[in-house]
Structure 1
């Protein structure tokens, strides 16, 4: 694999997002590799713990907007959304203890995926952002489900609507992350957590996870379907067109321009 590095050491699997030159932005090729890696590890009975992290200066800047806008690399909407749904489902339900190790930044789709982990670790100066709203879109990758699970519906809505950057320290305070540690130390914290987990009856922990994942699976599937339908509609909105234009022009967007209706046919 080129954009996702997968390795296994003893009973622990390490998955690294690997496009550091573009801040690990998630393009279609990376999503395909990530899905394949998660599927393979999920079926590996020798693995008990899975670590998801990113190479380079950040965990991931989120979806690759520039590729989204490139006609040469354009893919039909539905297959891409199905791929994203598979990633969320595999990572959330896999019969392993999963850890997302965030350094630098985790935004958009990348944050949705990270929040599917059993343990979310970040550094105090990390920047977490549910920033879909900035381009007139809604969270995908099960983002609504993950945020509601961690924060409750009322707080989840505020986080989605605000689209603000949250520090790693604040994320741990409000329950978006499980632990925040000093800058540059999330790798060491992962090692500490692995040792901590290895002292516990991991198979019993995994069984509890599987029971809860099976209970919640119908809701996650429903959320993923609703996100797919909602995202398709938002992509046709004038607000999304304005958000993309503002992103490319490096200016603040002006939403609610409804001179020709809110949606483009």
Structure 2
């Protein structure tokens, strides 16, 4: 998806009973830095209070989101910022999961790492044929965050979730559909298909659908918060490992990493 440039890193557009929330850092494949995550929390709070019934989460440019902004992370050497940033990530995950609206993730191009965790927080996930989907934290010796463990287990079960996380493989829309990671793989006319899904939902008793969502979200919210806390502390430990440092070095040098399990 593509819109004209804007200084906002998150753009919200209202159209009737629909709100579109678009990540807007196309020059870095919508990589998520601290400023973008903060803006996203603010925009999600606004959308939650709006008159919209359906929310479409998408990304501007060539992809949905390549995940956390590694270059931004490396340029910020203030370790005291790590846990607060993880708390912002947790806030985004909870806001999306408990949003009193019906949320569709409309993903295309690279949808990876934290970007994938965010997409998985939606009620329904539509993937364009261009999608390259990966829970790829393992490549730099880290674990999923943003509730990735929770959302993956809910969708595919614990054993499949472990395989997806440990392998970090790039998946096509069709492969992700076969695994149960997405709800629909769209071969062509993606934006038209998203619009059709929104229109179909808007012709249903949306209040009842949202109430069901909230019942289930309330049932599981404490578990999500527990997972987010575990991810925050687990990620802090992983950032101190030799494997993480090697993963980052290999990423910067554009070579395969050599991990030692340390």
Distance in structure 2 (CA, Å) of the matches to 1:188 and 1:155:
32
Matched, 1:70 2:75: yes
Query: Counterpart of 1:118?
Result: 123
Partner residue of 1:100 out of 90, 105, 114 = 105
CA distance in 1 between counterparts of 2:44 and 2:245 reads: 33
Rounded Cα–Cα distance in structure 2 between residues aligned with 1:76 and 1:186? 38
Partner residue of 1:231? Answer: 235
Q: Residue 148 of structure 1 aligns with which residue?
A: 153
**Deviates most, 119-128 or 209-218:** 119-128
TM-score computed with the length of structure 2 as normaliser: 0.95
Return the alpha-carbon distance in structure 1 between the equivalents of residues 232 and 219 of structure 2.
Answer: 22
| Partner SS for 2:171 | strand
Does structure 2 retain, via aligned residues, the 8 Å contact 1:67–1:73? no
Residue of structure 2 in register with 1:252 after alignment: 256
Q: 2:185 matched to 1:172?
A: no
1:207-218 matched pairs, under 5 angstroms: 207-218=211-222
Judge conservation of contact 1:123–1:169 (CA < 8 Å) in 2: no
TM-score with structure 1 length normalisation? 0.94
- List alignment gaps of at least 5 residues for structure 1: none
Structure 1 residue 74: deviation in Å? 7.1
Deviations 1:117-170 (A, max 9, x none): 001000133110000000000000000000000000010000000000010111
Residues of 2 paired with 1:96 and 1:53: CA distance?
Answer: 16
Q: Deviations over 1:227-264 (max 9, x none)?
A: 0010000000111000000000100001116xxxx3xx
Report the alpha carbon displacement of residue 71 of structure 1 after superposing the two structures with TM: 3.4
Query: In structure 2, the residue corresponding to 1:53 is in which secondary structure?
Result: strand
Q: 2:164 aligns with which of 136, 147, 159?
A: 159
RMSD over aligned Cα atoms: 1.3
- Does the 8 A contact of 1:68 with 1:74 survive in 2? no
* 1:56 aligned counterpart, secondary structure: coil
Give the 3-state SS of the residue equivalent to 1:76 in structure 2: helix
Pair 1:4 & 2:10 matched: yes
1:12-66 CA-partner distances (Å, limit 9, x unpaired): 111100011111111111111111111111122x111100001111111111100
Does residue 73 of structure 2 align to residue 55 of structure 1?
no
Structure-2 change in CA distance of 1:190 and 1:73 (3 Å): farther
1:20 aligns with 2:26: yes
Is the CA contact 1:124–1:181 (under 8 Å) kept in the aligned structure 2? yes
Moved over 3 A (4+): 71-75
Residue 204 of structure 1 is matched in structure 2 by: 208
Matched, 1:84 2:89: yes
Shift of 1:187: 1.1
- Gap regions ≥5 residues in structure 2: 1-6
Question: Which of residues 191, 196, 221 is equivalent to 1:192?
Answer: 196
